[in-house]
Amino acid sequence: MNMSEKVSISIIMGSDSDLPTMKAAAELLEKFSIGYDLTIVSAHRTPERLVEFAKSASTHYKVIIAGAGGAAHLPGMVASLTTLPVIGVPIKTSTLSGVDSLYSIVQMPKGIAVATVAIGNAFNAGLLAIQILALENAELNKKLQEFKINQTNEVKLKAKKLEKEGFKKYLEK
């Protein structure tokens, strides 16, 4: 498995069909200048690759983000083979809208933990991974604080505009 040096986060997913969802995590990590590896590991189609990845992950990474859909066993199986924090992203499915993925990832048995974000919300998986890294990185923590302040200011600006223009004009654009 191709693992780069000087990266903190691993982003894995069960299929390339998960990539349009999972890219949001990668994009956020890039915004925060955090190195990551991104690849496909399928719990069912490449079980041996999963074991190889999970067993060696702690020598390369600090946090794992794992996205999977349907019978989404990837995050839980990886978590069972490593002590690294694993953040699970339930991928939205066409058959059951991702509720299948959510239940598969969130309903872990006691003793094996996966931090599960909302269906399709790989952005929050990236954010949570950054927050974990920021525990021991003051510079990163400062960037996170700025991110939150900017987000708050954006909402305030929108509220001001909406109050001034009224909903009809606001919705015109």
Q: Is 120 helix (H, G, I), strand (E, B) or coil?
A: coil
- Smallest distance from ligand RP5 to CB 160, Å: 41
Binding-site size for ligand RP5 (CB under 6 A) equals 10
Q: How far apart, in Å, are the Cα atoms of 124 and each of 52, 111, 119?
A: 27, 24, 10
Tokens of 154: 């954006």
The nearer residue to ligand RP5, 56 or 93, going by C-beta atoms, is 93
Residues of this chain, 64-103, that bind ligand RP5 according to CB under 6 A: 68-70, 91
Q: Is 36 helix (H, G, I), strand (E, B) or coil?
A: strand
The nearer residue to ligand RP5, 42 or 80, going by C-beta atoms, is 42
- Taking the C-alpha atoms of residue 105 and residue 69, their distance in angstroms, rounded to an integer, is 9
Q: Are 165 and 157 in contact (CB under 8 A)?
A: no
- Smallest distance from ligand RP5 to CB 109, Å: 20
- Smallest distance from ligand RP5 to CB 124, Å: 18
Amino acid present at 103: Y
Cα 15 to the chain's mean position, in Å?
15
The nearer residue to ligand RP5, 42 or 124, going by C-beta atoms, is 42
The nearer residue to ligand RP5, 33 or 94, going by C-beta atoms, is 94
Residues of this chain, 8-47, that bind ligand RP5 according to CB under 6 A: 13-15, 17-18, 42
- Smallest distance from ligand RP5 to CB 71, Å: 7
Q: Are 70 and 101 in contact (CB under 8 A)?
A: yes
- Give contact residues for ligand RP5 (rule: CB under 6 A): 13-15, 17-18, 42, 68-70, 91
